[in-house]
Structure 1
Amino acid sequence: MEVIYPGSFDPITNGHLDIIDRCAKKFDKVIVSILNNTSKKTLFTVEERKELLEKCLEKYDNVEVDTFSGLLIDYAKEKNVTTMVRGLRAVSDFEYEMQMALVNRKLYDEIETLFMVSSGDYAYLSSSIVREISLFDGDVSCLVPEVVEKALKEKIKGGRKNQ
């Protein structure tokens, strides 16, 4: 069975990696799909996020990194995948994700959304928290892979030079 694990991954965190690792053990193929939302301001470009994800996931034979724009259901149809995985950290995530799952199902009745509860170690973790801590020179080494920590420091340092 193939699944899509979509997200913005700006940046990828250890929580994302935990979900991907667990999916890679359960499914034949996992397509980690980075949303390229041009109306959303991101810290990393979609190309940079793809490169970081590929570096973090190179040990997996059954995980592919891809990007998409537009509706997730259109992307799923294009990939011929009818199952997506979404991570849940808290009740507030569930409310939003359930609404999205129902809308997706209304638009494409073959799509199924599987919810995977975050490990307790990562229930508090989000990309926005990582970006915020990084912007104030905080230590994110326990929140992201080393390659991401390095990329964050370079990106933020470069941004400060341009101010």
Structure 2
Amino acid sequence: MRDVDLSNVTVDSHTGGLLVDHCRRLGIDVVIRGVRGVRDLDYEMPMARMNRELAGVKTFFIAADPTLAHISSTLVTGMSRQDRVPNDALSELLPAHHPPAPSEPLRCLDALAGDADTDSFAA
């Protein structure tokens, strides 16, 4: 693999408000989104088109790891509300770099899975 200069790349997390407003505020012109399958892509494409129309923000999609494609923030949140599911079982469904907080399983998983109200990785 060749060396790549990534000095102009920033990884950023956004929650609350419109992504396009966040991009305008910070001068972000490219967003990378993870998608698990066709349903995610069907949901994300209209938003990507609108972000491009409103602010010139381009969206690139990356397919999720197929072994994790069945995991969604909705499922993890539902499981976390069940007293029968221990937190360590939920930990296995979330990225290792962000241990789950019982009140915050959504933000952890969104970056991985690409849910509708997800964290965004901006370049």
Q: TM-score, normalised by structure 2?
A: 0.65
Structure 2 counterpart of 1:120, which letter? P
Structure 1 runs not aligned, ≥5 long: 1-24, 37-69, 157-163
Shift of 1:79: 1.0
Which of 8, 31, 36 aligns to 2:11? It is 31
Partner of 1:133: 79
Q: CA RMSD in A?
A: 2.4
Structure 2 runs not aligned, ≥5 long: 105-123
Residue aligned with 1:81, SS:
coil
Partner of 1:120: 66
Equivalent pairs counted in the alignment come to 94
Residue 26 to residue 133, structure 1, CA distance change in 2 (3 Å): farther
Residue 26 to residue 85, structure 1, CA distance change in 2 (3 Å): farther
> What does the per-residue CA deviation read over 1:53-109, in whole Å, with 9 as the maximum and x for residues that have no partner?
xxxxxxxxxxxxxxxxx322121121111000111101111111011111111112x
Partner of 1:56: none
Shift of 1:140: 1.4
Residue aligned with 1:35, SS:
coil
* Percent of aligned positions that are identical: 30
CA distance in 2, matches of 1:132, 1:78: 34
Does 1:75 find its partner at 2:55? no
Residue 72 to residue 118, structure 1, CA distance change in 2 (3 Å): same
CA distance in 2, matches of 1:27, 1:117: 21
Misfit runs of 4+, over 3 Å? 25-28
